[in-house]
Structure 1
């Protein structure tokens, strides 16, 4: 069976829907109006996905981020742009309940993501049975 990433849980009350580029706090114990869903613009979306994909306990270098989030998409990269988009991303993450130290800056090197707070959500396509023409999705944590 092929696994496909469809989202992430962060800390574990924030769901990041990669198809909709949306962050949503899913904690049922808080008032529904406490946290509004947040939609990410394209570059910020690519930045968060890249950080989550590379949250493996190491520092993610500024140069790797600039290459994979800006240069590979034909955008002009700079440390200033990285700093601006990263700060805006951290504000959006905080607005849905992610702690401020989820992404930490390591001076002159890059960023560290607290990978222990990230759960990847996969989906599997089950094969269809006779008489059933639709594939069913199965969520794997």
Structure 2
């Protein structure tokens, strides 16, 4: 199984390989125990996993004897590896005296490599500053923006003279409304209340930085915390969808925003 993490990192549970999707040469390989541990946490996303549960399922189940600090050591290794590959988000959260937690919001997975789609001539604009928002130009953030704006995940890209040609697997889009005459989609299903909040936030970002033009398509992504508390990260891109199938996007212009 291949997991996609934060639309930026791919992790293959079969052999413990993990790599940056936009830069596939940036990769690490986990040995059996950290690969097994990370797989278990990813498979149990949105669930609180206790230290005892990890010890039982990663060590005791296989007749292994863990040391007193085994869990912490391997969690630290996984976090460090994610950071080295460019993911600055705290994917594995530690809840003191409770356990570990990964939000399903940032995780997707697939059994097989899906049919890829083409995206061309992508342009990424700088991160913007609104009330309580800060500019960000770190390579990791730009990589996230580039990946989401070109509709996602799992195959390497190649550069050609004068433009970039990206090939990524198809991602499901969910329509939540319109910005003027341009349809607005998100990357994950939301409740009606959350969808309405996201539509409002997306409209504000679009009006300030990428207004609707010629019925182009908007794709917006944010966490629940951003939708309700304006904390966390949000992303909007406006793309041309010439074949009207939501499978081929070009000339994307993107804005990445984050608030603390």
TM-score, with length taken from structure 2? 0.41
Q: Hey, what does 2:71 align to over in structure 1?
A: 82
Partner Cα distance (2:68, 2:104) in 1: 23
Alignment of structure 1 residues 89-100 onto 2, 5 Å: 89-100=78-89
Partner Cα distance (1:26, 1:120) in 2: 14
| Partner residue of 2:5 out of 1, 6, 10 | 10
Change (3 A) 1:115 1:99: farther
- Asked whether 1:26 is paired with 2:21, we answer yes
2:13·2:36 contact (CA, 8 Å) conserved in 1?
no
C-alpha distance after superposition, 1:17-74 (max 9, x if no partner):
22331001112xxxx49x721000110000000000111x231111111111111111
Q: Cα offset for 1:79?
A: 4.5
Greater C-alpha Rg: 2
TM-score, with length taken from structure 1? 0.73
Q: Hey, what does 2:61 align to over in structure 1?
A: 72
Q: Cα offset for 1:87?
A: 0.8
Q: Cα offset for 1:97?
A: 2.2
Alignment of structure 1 residues 1-141 onto 2, 5 Å: 6-27=1-22, 32=23, 36-55=26-45, 57-123=46-112
Change (3 A) 1:26 1:140: closer
Give the CA RMSD over aligned residues: 2.3
Provide structure 2 residue ranges, at least 5 long, that are not aligned to the other structure.
114-168, 172-260
* Alignment coverage as a number of residue pairs: 116
1:66·1:78 contact (CA, 8 Å) conserved in 2?
no
Q: Which has the higher contact order (CA 8 A, sep 6+)?
A: 1
Provide structure 1 residue ranges, at least 5 long, that are not aligned to the other structure.
1-5, 125-138
Change (3 A) 1:18 1:79: same
